[in-house]
Each structure stands twice: as C-alpha cells, then as structure tokens.
Amino acid sequence: MQDTSDSADIKRMANLLRQGATLTDLACPQCGSPLFRLRDRTLWCGKDEKKVILLKEGEELPKPSTNIAMGKLEETLMAKVTDLQEKIQKTNDVEEISKLTTALSDLLDSLEKIKRMKKS
C-alpha cells in the first residue's frame, strides 16, 4: 500500500517538473518532502499538494487577504436579502412577515459590518 502512495507522490512531483516547477533544496516542514518553486514563485509541497510559506526566525505570517472572503460573504448575504425580499412580497401572513423582516434586518446588519471591515 505504501508503494502505491509513494508512486503517486513521485508522479505528482514529476508532473510539477514537467509543468515548469523547479526543485529546491528546501524540505516541507510537515512531511519532509522536497519543495518545488512554481512559476509564480510559490513554494509547493508535491506530496502534501499544498502551498508552503517559510518564515525566517522572528518573522510573522503574512495576513491573509480578507477582502476576497468578505466579498464572497457579501455576495451570499445580498442573495439572501433578495430571497427574503421576494418572500416578504409574496406573503400576507403578518407573523411570517415579522419573522422575515427580523431576518432581513440581521442580514443588513451583517452587511454593514462587512463593509466597515473592508474599509479598515
């Protein structure tokens, strides 16, 4: 079973080289496998199939870009706002309208928080 896994790892690494990656003298801190430098300068572990970020002693991790995640979340919430608006428009039940408007208010509050976070 281990031979099959090793063989698959070697094939992935060979594919990385064929795609223009460069074998480095660095080892993956997780598995010890050699690291590859992709064309976009990213360090990549062929065995774990993950991006690797190496830090010098005392250096801190770069802060992840939250704008992409916040943008996707904002899109999702806007879609939910539209869904709730359609449901409010279709219903005549006062109790249902009350529940929907409460949910809508919560969504709008969340959207406002996201906009503030994106600005800061």
Which letter, b or e, does each residue of 37-54 get, where b requires 16 or more Cβ atoms within 10 Å of its Cβ?
Answer: beeeeebbbbbeeeebee
**What are 83's two structure tokens?**
């869904």
pLDDT in tens, 84-109: 999 999 999 999 999 999 999 999 99
Average pLDDT estimate for 38-48 = 90
Q: Read off the pLDDT band of 1 (50, 70, 90).
A: very low
Q: Read off the amino acid at residue 66.
A: T
Phi-psi domain of 29 (left: phi exceeds 0; alpha: psi -120 through 50; beta: other): alpha
Sign of CA dihedral 31, 45, 34, 64: negative
Average pLDDT estimate for 65-82 = 83
The mean pLDDT of the chain is: 86
pLDDT at residue 66, as a whole number = 61
Residue 19 has pLDDT above 60, yes or no: yes
pLDDT at residue 65, as a whole number = 62
**What are 11's two structure tokens?**
């094939």
pTM for this predicted structure: 0.47
Residue 25 has pLDDT above 90, yes or no: yes
Average pLDDT estimate for 59-78 = 76
DSSP, residue by residue, 13-49: HHHHHHTT-EEEEEE-TTT-PEEEE-TTS-EEETTTT
Count of residues in the chain: 120
pLDDT at residue 3, as a whole number = 60
pLDDT at residue 71, as a whole number = 79
